[in-house]
Amino acid sequence: MNITLGFSPCPNDCFIFDALIHHKIDTKGIDFTVIMEDVEALNQKAFKQQLDVTKLSYQAFFYLIDKYVLLNSGSALGFNCGPLLVKKKSSEFNPETALVAIPGKYTTANFLLSIAYPQLKNKNEFLFSDIEGAVLSGKVDAGLLIHENRFTYEDKGLEKIADLGEYWENLIHAPIPLGGIVASRKLDTETQKLIQQLIRESVEYAFKHPESSMDFVKQNAQEMSYEVMKKHIALYVNDFSIDLGETGRKAIHLMLDKAQEVKLIHSVPNTLFVE
């Protein structure tokens, strides 16, 4: 069986999926065709139902619950790992008038920004890795940083306006769901469960053999230092990546409740997760 698998070239995803796609674990007869894209590009492919299994921003998932089911393994979810809103040190920030660079309309980062700053209406979409430069060059007044840019923005001369992860944790008192792994509802339940188990085994292999994936991580890390790669993985890959567990699933339901409260979505099916 061949399964299309979408994930980002970021260190956390490469760390998670290395053992799976390079057959360091037994994939039980499943061959994976890998599509590596920025998470917002993956969101867009999911809206077109072009992928069997994919990384997906949780905000995008809330729009696609009737098309995809959430796997219990592979998620990026935790504390102190949310997006950062930044600006140049010499500039002022007025959410009523500011033009803000975002990493995509359907990213969880933009969902959090919309809740924290409902008055902020002027947004431009950028590839996440271009946002620092857009702020520094003056193309935008502020930028919403995700992934490894949270480790580099101060060195570039930027300063934090708000940590939206802290904002969410103070609002909801739960870990923040950033991105999850979903499977198409067109796949039969047994296949969904098998893929979920394989992803879990891949994450567990990565934790047991942390250096095994580093060549693959480096290959896709785009001039990132080894130190930043390791920090990135440590921040976004944790016990929730092995299995969401009761705490992780509750955190996702809390975010879903908030999405319904702010009229982002209106109805959901009975099942969110692969059982």
Q: What is the pTM of this model?
A: 0.93
The two domains 2-78+177-261 and 84-172 share their CATH topology (first three levels equal): yes
Euclidean distance between CA atoms 8 and 14, whole angstroms: 8
What is the structure's pLDDT at 90?
A: 85
CA nearest 130: which of 147, 106, 112, 110? 147
Euclidean distance between CA atoms 108 and 112, whole angstroms: 6
Does 73 score more than 90 pLDDT? yes
Q: Where are the alpha helices (DSSP H) in 131-188?
A: 131-137, 164-172
Answer whether 83's CB lies under 8 Å from 166's CB: no
pLDDT bucket at 267, cuts 50 / 70 / 90? low
Average confidence (pLDDT) over 213-232:
88
CA nearest 43: which of 128, 106, 111? 106
CATH code of 84-172, in short, is 3.40.190.10
Euclidean distance between CA atoms 71 and 13, whole angstroms: 15
Q: Which helix (H) or strand (E) holds 142?
A: strand 142-145
Euclidean distance between CA atoms 16 and 33, whole angstroms: 16
CA nearest 237: which of 75, 8, 70, 35? 75
Q: Which one is the CATH code of 2-78+177-261: 3.40.50.700, 3.50.50.60, 3.40.190.10, 3.40.630.10?
A: 3.40.190.10
Q: How far is CA 162 from CA 9, 132, 145, in A?
A: 26, 15, 11
By CB atoms closer than 10 A (0-12, 13-18, 19+), residue 79 is middle
What is the structure's pLDDT at 224?
A: 80
Q: How far is CA 51 from CA 47, 56, 74, 75, 186, in A?
A: 9, 11, 16, 17, 11
Does 57 score more than 70 pLDDT? yes
Q: What is the pLDDT of residues 156-194, one digit of tens each?
A: 889 999 999 999 999 999 999 999 999 999 999 999 999
Average confidence (pLDDT) over 250-262:
90
Q: Where are the domains of the chain?
A: 2-78+177-261, 84-172
Average confidence (pLDDT) over 9-17:
96
For the annotated catalytic residues, the residue numbers are: 147
Euclidean distance between CA atoms 42 and 40, whole angstroms: 5
Q: What is the pLDDT of residues 138-153, one digit of tens each?
A: 999 999 999 878 888 8
